[in-house]
Amino acid sequence: MSAELAVRDVDDAATRAALEVTWAPPRGVLGLLGTVNHKVVAIRYIVSAFVFFALAGVLALVMRAQLAYPEARLVGPDLYNQIFTVHGSTMMFLFAVPVMEAMGLYLVPLMVGTRNVAFPRLNAFGFWIYLIGGALLWAAFLLNVGPDAGWFAYVPLAGPDQAPGKRIDVWAQMITFTELAALVGAVELVVTTLKLRAPGMSLNRVPLFVWAMLVTAFMVIFAMPAIMVASTMLAMDRLVDTHFFNVAEGGDALLWQHLFWFFGHPEVYIIFIPATGFVSTIVQTFARRPIVGYPAMVLSLIATGFLGFGLWVHHMFATGLPSLGESFFTAASMLIAIPTGVQIFCWLATLRSGRVLVRAPLLYVLAFVATFVLGGLSGVMVASAPLDLQLHDTFFVVAHLHYVLIGGSVFPLLGALHYWLPKMSGRMPSEGLGRLTVAILFVGFQLTFFPMHQLGLAGMPRRVYTYLPETGWGPLNALSSVGAALLGVAVLLFVANVAWTLRRGARAEDDPWGADTLEWSTTSPPPAYNFVHIPVVESRHPLWTHPSPRVVTGLRIDVREVLVTDAIDAVPDHRHMLDGPTLYPFLTAMAAGIGIITAIFTPWGITVGVVLTLPPLIGWFWPAGEAIAGTTREKA
């Protein structure tokens, strides 16, 4: 049995009508809590992540207000510790990683030409567990139980002796929630990419954004277990008196740093690689030509994915490790600049040789290139162990990490949202407002963070709640705080643009930017089933090269059936039925949430969690016993 090429009468209207019924969004409570549509789940993810981004941004503004002049009294040292910890933890765990995965969960099924992610119910579960984790951290912070040992929670500062109370336990369990969600998202992205691609989309035709998400997902799968192990050990040291990090009983404080950064450094690339996917997509569309060096781009992504695991010790140069070991990590840290450099040159070559159309998303990308190159250069500086010893724990590092994370990821992300907003909402964002946002964002960013390089060189340590006037750090800090206010304005403008788009924006066509990837071949916004017909792909740029493509017929349309293809060449293999909406993933997440939060207070929380999650899990997997004999197929 195999797929057959033919020329047939295809009744689009009848197929569409049947798909509308089969994939109809659930209503009421089921619609609210039980949906498994990857687009709805992903948009909820993105909106939640942006709420956390805004909250953590407010904390940043409070910190900048406190540091604007010497000996300010806006917040005290204890609250300041909580603020910078919750700011960092929120930005890394509740915003950056989830929002990147969410963009993938929205776009990857559309870009590879299928109807949903590989495991729709698991996907919904991942979102709910993430939301509970975020709510936990912020509820604790509002109750003055916010973690206060920095986003990397170094022991012994975060250990049971130095940090009594529950603040660090909240942090450790927030990690449990977000790492679960991240791992779920990663498995979804890997399997959807490898097995649900439209026929003909062999690996050498996969869009670069999908490649980026695939590499990211693999990195999540191998990096997140490290923080899982580390945070479990920390929670156990604090709750049941194990001695993993207790030096007096043979434990080791550096073990924490090794485990944390074995996750923490790949984490940076987990946030950055999706951004390169955005950039490649936007550059290609607005240069109106295929990206220069597609194979080099893909190999660079993969190389970055591997090298990202060989750098973690460069966060630990100040811990007195053997110099020979340090020099290896210095070399690796400099090496990783090569694949990133290859990508930047490919983007520049594409722009140089293309017929460039300057639109707001491209301006975000240009802001990214300039900012990220600066951040990369300061990265090469701190990769050198002797210089790092001088700059460690100063504002120079704060400047560097914000250059690579905001410049490297948030700029492309905002550009990407502007770019895909027409697809997601069906309306066009304001170009003028977009351009204004980029300008203010760029100026505000440089004003905020460039002075921090100098502050760090002048010796200002990070994570201090104030400083003395005699240090002379006042003027540059004041400048930085003015910049932060501008950054706040830029974010407000961005939100205003989204709000304006949703209410007033002009209706978007299917492919308003003239792009080449499959998500632009369906309506804006896409229907619940994404495509009336699964497309057949014959080139790397399907919308540019064949205007009247062959389509797939013969899938069942009375159930949620998708086409599974082979992992390398996307040859059609078999048909597969996906699960529909249900409340069980939500209930399972709630039950697990109760267990994990109980585990902050007693180890019996694990038992509670297992017992509570069992009934909804059984409900989740037990078949409903629906008749499966029906075989309504699209007429072909």
Asked if 388 contacts 313 with a C-beta cutoff of 8 angstroms, the reply is: no
List 260, 262, 449, 529, residue binding other proteins (CB under 8 A): 262
List 322, 503, 547, 548, residue binding other proteins (CB under 8 A): 548
List 552, 591, 592, 596, residue binding other proteins (CB under 8 A): 552
Residue 213 in contact with other proteins, rule: CB under 8 A:
no
CB 187 → other proteins: shortest distance, Å?
A: 4
List beta partners, residue 565: 572
Lookup result for tokens 């929380």: 605
Q: Is the CA virtual torsion 360, 366, 369, 375 positive or negative?
A: negative
How far from 531 is each of 419, 510, 565, 597, CA to CA, in Å?
Answer: 20, 12, 17, 41
CB 313 → other proteins: shortest distance, Å?
A: 13
CB 551 → other proteins: shortest distance, Å?
A: 6
CB 617 → other proteins: shortest distance, Å?
A: 9
- Between CA 166 and CA 286 the distance in angstroms is 51
Name which of 80 and 620 has its Cβ closer to other proteins: 620
Name which of 152 and 347 has its Cβ closer to other proteins: 152
List 6, 295, 324, 503, residue binding other proteins (CB under 8 A): 6
Residue 324 in contact with other proteins, rule: CB under 8 A:
no
Return the residues of window 215-254 that contact other proteins according to CB under 8 A: 221-222, 224-226, 228-229, 232-233, 236-237, 240-244, 246, 249-252
Q: Is the CA virtual torsion 494, 269, 363, 542 positive or negative?
A: negative
Name which of 435 and 633 has its Cβ closer to other proteins: 633
CB 228 → other proteins: shortest distance, Å?
A: 6
Cis peptide before 549 (omega within 30 of 0): no
Residue span binding other proteins (CB under 8 A) among the ranges 72-80, 98-106, 258-266, 468-476: 258-266
How far from 183 is each of 16, 177, 217, 227, 228, CA to CA, in Å?
Answer: 34, 10, 8, 12, 11
Judged by CB under 8 A, the number of residues near other proteins is 79
CB 183 → other proteins: shortest distance, Å?
A: 6
CB 120 → other proteins: shortest distance, Å?
A: 11
Name which of 73 and 240 has its Cβ closer to other proteins: 240
CB 528 → other proteins: shortest distance, Å?
A: 20
Return the residues of window 570-629 that contact other proteins according to CB under 8 A: 572-577, 610, 614, 618, 621-625, 628
Return the residues of window 89-148 that contact other proteins according to CB under 8 A: 118-119, 122
CB 124 → other proteins: shortest distance, Å?
A: 15
CB 402 → other proteins: shortest distance, Å?
A: 29
Name which of 78 and 241 has its Cβ closer to other proteins: 241
Residue span binding other proteins (CB under 8 A) among the ranges 74-82, 339-347, 414-422, 568-576: 568-576
Lookup result for tokens 């069992």: 614
Nearest to 34 by CA among 617, 624, 581: 581
Name which of 179 and 511 has its Cβ closer to other proteins: 179
Q: Long-range pairs for 160-164 at CB < 8 Å and ≥24 separation?
A: 160/237, 160/238, 160/241
CB 94 → other proteins: shortest distance, Å?
A: 21
Token digits for 424? 């997601």
Residue 154 in contact with other proteins, rule: CB under 8 A:
no
Name which of 275 and 589 has its Cβ closer to other proteins: 589
Return the residues of window 29-58 that contact other proteins according to CB under 8 A: none
What is the per-residue burial (b if ≥16 Cβ within 10 Å, else e) of 107-125? bbbbbbbbbbbbbbbbbbb
Number of neighbours of residue 577 by Cβ within 10 angstroms: 11
Number of neighbours of residue 138 by Cβ within 10 angstroms: 19
- Between CA 59 and CA 56 the distance in angstroms is 5
Name which of 118 and 275 has its Cβ closer to other proteins: 118
Q: Where are the alpha helices (DSSP H) in 308-407?
A: 323-335, 337-353, 360-382, 385-391, 395-402
Number of neighbours of residue 485 by Cβ within 10 angstroms: 16
Contact residues for 558 (Cβ-Cβ < 8 A; gap 6+): 18, 22, 630, 631, 632
Residue 486 in contact with other proteins, rule: CB under 8 A:
no
Name which of 224 and 399 has its Cβ closer to other proteins: 224
Angle, vertex CA 566, rays to CA 564 and CA 570, nearest 5: 90
Return the residues of window 448-467 that contact other proteins according to CB under 8 A: none
Return the residues of window 179-198 that contact other proteins according to CB under 8 A: 183, 186-187, 190-191, 194-196
CB 220 → other proteins: shortest distance, Å?
A: 9
How far from 265 is each of 260, 386, 398, CA to CA, in Å?
Answer: 8, 20, 15
Residue 161 in contact with other proteins, rule: CB under 8 A:
no
Helix (H, G, I), strand (E, B) or coil at 292: coil
CB 71 → other proteins: shortest distance, Å?
A: 43
Contact residues for 585 (Cβ-Cβ < 8 A; gap 6+): 34, 36, 121, 122, 124, 125, 128, 620
- Between CA 364 and CA 406 the distance in angstroms is 12
Name which of 199 and 415 has its Cβ closer to other proteins: 199
- Between CA 489 and CA 193 the distance in angstroms is 38
Residue 551 in contact with other proteins, rule: CB under 8 A:
yes
Return the residues of window 364-403 that contact other proteins according to CB under 8 A: none
List 43, 65, 74, 255, residue binding other proteins (CB under 8 A): 255
